[in-house]
Amino acid sequence: MLEAGAVVLTSWPGRHPIPTGSNPARTDATVVSLGPSVEQWGDDVMRAAIFVGPGAELSVETVEPWAAEGREVVVRLEASGVCHSDLSVMDGNFPGPPPIVLGHEGCGIVEWVGPEVTRVRVGQRVILSLSPVCGVCWHCLRNETHLCELGMPLMAAPRVRRADGSVANALMGLGTFADVATVHEASCIPVETDLPSEQLALIGCGVTTGLGAALNTAAVRAGDTVAVIGCGGVGTSVIQGAAIAGASYIYAVDPVALKRDTALELGATHAIDPADGDPVEQVKALTGGRGVDHAFEVVGNTELMTQALGMTRRGGATILVGVPRYDATLSVPVLPLITQDRTIRGSYYGSSRSMRDFPRFIDLIETGRLDLASMITKRFALDDVNDAFAAMRSGEAVRSVIV
């Protein structure tokens, strides 16, 4: 005899789309056939923006979604940020073999959960975390959840079947350029807030990467001086993190006037245009010839990384945040690192602990100390996702969102 709320899954060979009517919140027993037909979605067919090859625009397609099984969760996406890492995949600078659903910065509502899910429940609002938190791997047990070992396996997990029968996975195991995403529960951070989804989505990657780089990786202190090279979504998050920490002077370096102006609005004390001369010399001129305590490179360009090193004072730290091309190398004179007591440090995902940091960042937004609304300068529909990347290439946007 079936108990109220029971969900029965009938077997079906091959792959399984998301089961219709399988919401565990129902009060009556529901029998669900995991058949292969998209038709069972009715009007709620799933669309996704798929990377099909280097140099090509994303293909927005109707696809067959993957079912949530085991510890997987189905999330109805409400907003997705447009990150430079997606562009790096499109340009062939970052590994992401096609076909793959792009997007890795999202917020939405849980619609269905697998039978082994314990972290989230149906109807709950979640931010999708760039790095999963399994809670049991070597790194998670040492409070290095941003290095969770589950990340790479999730990258390879199949997520949708296309009309031609090919299977696509999802960038970072998320694939947020879509109506719906099937993700592992380790990637879901439940939140309780009335903040707009377009702001919460940014916490999933860019804001955490930037804010965390300042607060966690560099541990900027009150009175410190900071330079930030690259003032897009991540760079302006570094700037806000430095301001929250109490940095005295924050130098924003970017060739785009819109981004320099936005940086000033969000906490930078000085804006530096590389067209006015060597940025290293401009920063040194403003710091008594010494350089800054912390210099952040947030573009992923080795030439700019060298500039960041040049802006860093003796005894200071250079923080590399931007993701370069996968085969990039950096040549650094070693002697000054030793004789000048310098530090070069990478910062992945802001050295964050998302279960801890996401609620903290939300508190900062709700109390007016972190401004994500001003970072969002353009909004696009999913069908116009390629226009969002055109705006990114031209420098027309600080951060765009798909809503």
In the CATH scheme, what is the code of domain 210-347? 3.40.50.720
8 A C-beta contact, residue 292 and residue 313 = yes
Q: What pLDDT is attached to residue 83? A: 92
7-204+371-402 belongs to which CATH class? alpha beta
Q: With H, G, I as helix, E, B as strand and everything else as coil, classify residue 161.
A: strand
Say how many CA atoms lie within 13 Å of 236 toward its Cβ: 25
pLDDT tens column, 177-203: 999 999 999 999 999 999 999 999 999
DSSP 8-class letter at 47 = E
8 A C-beta contact, residue 74 and residue 17 = no
| Between residues 22 and 233, the one the model is more confident about | 233
Using the structure block, give the residue that is written with the tokens 């798929």: 50
Scored b (16 or more CB within 10 A) or e, 32-42 reads bbbeeebebbe
Q: With H, G, I as helix, E, B as strand and everything else as coil, classify residue 213.
A: helix
pTM score:
0.87
Average pLDDT on 371-400 reads 94
Using the structure block, give the residue that is written with the tokens 């529909």: 381
Using the structure block, give the residue that is written with the tokens 């096609």: 98
Angstrom distance (rounded) from CA 252 to CA 117: 43
Average pLDDT on 138-160 reads 94
Asked whether residue 113 carries a pLDDT value surpassing 80, the answer given is yes
Average pLDDT on 193-215 reads 97
Asked whether residue 35 carries a pLDDT value surpassing 70, the answer given is no
Q: What is the mean pLDDT of the chain?
A: 89
pLDDT tens column, 259-270: 999 999 999 999
Planar angle of CA 159, 162, 166, nearest 5 degrees: 85
Q: What pLDDT is attached to residue 41? A: 40
Angstrom distance (rounded) from CA 307 to CA 126: 38
- Strands (E) in 106-195, as ranges, are 106-113, 125-128, 158-161, 167-170, 180-184, 188-190
Continuous segment of H or E residues that includes residue 245: helix 233-245
What's the full length of the chain, in residues? 403
**Rg of the chain's alpha carbons, rounded to an integer?**
22
Angstrom distance (rounded) from CA 65 to CA 17: 5
Domain ranges of the chain: 7-204+371-402, 210-347
Tell the burial category of 317 from Cβ atoms under 10 Å away from its Cβ (0-12, 13-18, 19+). Answer: buried
Continuous segment of H or E residues that includes residue 280: helix 279-286
Angstrom distance (rounded) from CA 401 to CA 79: 7
Average pLDDT on 205-226 reads 98
| Between residues 214 and 17, the one the model is more confident about | 214
Q: How far is CA 291 from CA 264, 307, 347, 379, in A?
A: 20, 11, 21, 37
